[in-house]
Amino acid sequence: MNERTVAPGVRLGRASFVWRPWMMVVTLLLTAAAFVVFCWSIAVGDFPLGLPQVIATIFGQGERVDEFVVMDLRMPRALAGLIVGIALGVSGAITQSIARNPLASPDILGITGGASAVAVFLVTVSGGAAATIVSSVGLSAAALAGGLGTGLLVYFLAWRRGIDGLRLILIGISVSAVMEAITAWLLVSADIRDVARAQAWLVGSLDSRSWSEIWVALWCMLALMAVVAYIAFHLKPMHFGDEVAAGLGVRYSMVRAVLLLCAVLLAGVAVSAAGPVPFVALVAPQVAMRLTRHPTPPLVASGLVGALLLIGADLVARTALPVSLPVGVVTAAIGGPFLIYLLVRANLRRGM
């Protein structure tokens, strides 16, 4: 009997895990890459800094001037990119795992559609109530509430003695389409100056983030990640469908409800911090799967790819092009072709 037929294990005290060297290497490389791009995005600007300077400053070894530029001026934007990227990547990985469909993403669950519709409504409808809402809770928070409400609506509409992946996607697409129609109608009928303001919100952007906003997003993201990390152990059998999962002792309705709620909230954190950034949640898990050669979306790697994609896109948006573009435009432009490249490469390999 060959002992190498099953995966080797690694033990740390009472804990034991499956040893997957390739997954480990890729995850470490992605972490390193995300850190470098993070520092690089801080280094670039009107007052350019060197990478070593940035890293030294982050670890508290920098000069006073550098510290002001790095920590006060540029860190919030870079951190926003990191948080939004991780949140979208993990949210996408969860959604695709639960729906067991690579085309699923939180966008499809109606979160971005709902958030956009509410945001545009509040910006374009100049009335007493709208103005009161915006001034009291802020546009981001109101949009977040709209997104979460729509996510819950999709979940309950898709519920029929349990959640079926395909049904969830179909309902999600329908509800998103309704939300987009509402958004379009609002944009057409509104005053042109309001439309310009609404459009600025509609293409995701990392511009003008403040430390207070970042702290809220960061803590929300960390709390949600803790829940996801705890319950992710039960996600593994769920890739085989409800019945096999139940046979393996998983309370699948509960696990799925908690994970989907986390996915919706993570996407909500992302939307409230940067507006609707398209494509990251869809592409990041697929890229992570192919890089790690894992059959299902790996959560950690998906988050890291999301961060890499988002910060990288923001960097490109600010530097490579003559006009400064919102990050959302670039994520689609980078992510799409890269996914196509991975798919084509896989097809070629299978064809040979």
Partner 1 sequence: MITEHATQVVSRLAAEGVTVGYGGRAVIDNLDVVIPPGVITTIIGPNGCGKSTLLRALSRLLKPSKGTVVLDGEDIAKLKTRDVAKKLGLLPQAPIAPEGLTVADLVARGRHPHQSWLRQWSSDDAAVVTRALAMTGVSDLAGRPVDALSGGQRQRVWISMTLAQGTDLLLLDEPITYLDLAHAIDVIDLVDDLHESGCTVVMVLHDLNLATRYSDNLIVMREGAILAQGHPRDVITPELLHEAFGLSARVIDDPVSDRPLIVPIGRTHVQL
Contact positions vs partner 1 (CB under 8 A): 1-3, 5-11, 14-18, 100, 161, 230, 233, 236-237, 239-241, 243-244, 246-251, 293, 295-296
Of the two residues 127 and 351, which places its CB atom closer to partner 1 in the complex?
A: 351
In whole angstroms, how close is the CB of 156 to partner 1 at the nearest point?
Answer: 17
Of the two residues 293 and 345, which places its CB atom closer to partner 1 in the complex?
A: 293
Strands (E), 76-153: none
In whole angstroms, how close is the CB of 165 to partner 1 at the nearest point?
Answer: 11
Of the two residues 6 and 192, which places its CB atom closer to partner 1 in the complex?
A: 6
In whole angstroms, how close is the CB of 258 to partner 1 at the nearest point?
Answer: 14
Of the two residues 102 and 149, which places its CB atom closer to partner 1 in the complex?
A: 102
In whole angstroms, how close is the CB of 284 to partner 1 at the nearest point?
Answer: 18
First to last CA, the chain: 32
At residue 39, the 3 state secondary structure works out as helix
Q: What is the DSSP letter of 10?
A: E
Answer for the pair 83, 214: CB distance below 8 angstroms, yes or no.
Answer: yes
Rounded CA separation 236/255 (Å): 11
Strands (E), the chain: 9-12, 15-18
Q: What is the DSSP letter of 48?
A: -
Three-class SS of 287-351 = HHHHHHCCCCCCHHHHHHHHHHHHHHHHHHHHHCCCCCCCHHHHHHHHHHHHHHHHHHHHHHHHH
Of the two residues 215 and 230, which places its CB atom closer to partner 1 in the complex?
A: 230
In whole angstroms, how close is the CB of 18 to partner 1 at the nearest point?
Answer: 4
Answer for the pair 289, 66: CB distance below 8 angstroms, yes or no.
Answer: no
In whole angstroms, how close is the CB of 12 to partner 1 at the nearest point?
Answer: 9
In whole angstroms, how close is the CB of 59 to partner 1 at the nearest point?
Answer: 32
Of the two residues 31 and 101, which places its CB atom closer to partner 1 in the complex?
A: 101
Neighbour count for residue 254 (Cβ, 10 Å): 11
In whole angstroms, how close is the CB of 252 to partner 1 at the nearest point?
Answer: 9
Measure CA 164 to chain center: 23
Of the two residues 3 and 46, which places its CB atom closer to partner 1 in the complex?
A: 3
At residue 248, the 3 state secondary structure works out as coil
Rounded CA separation 46/263 (Å): 37
Cα dist from 58 to 46, 51, 70, 221, whole Å: 19, 11, 8, 21
Instruction: Locate 3 and state its tokens.
Output: 């002992």
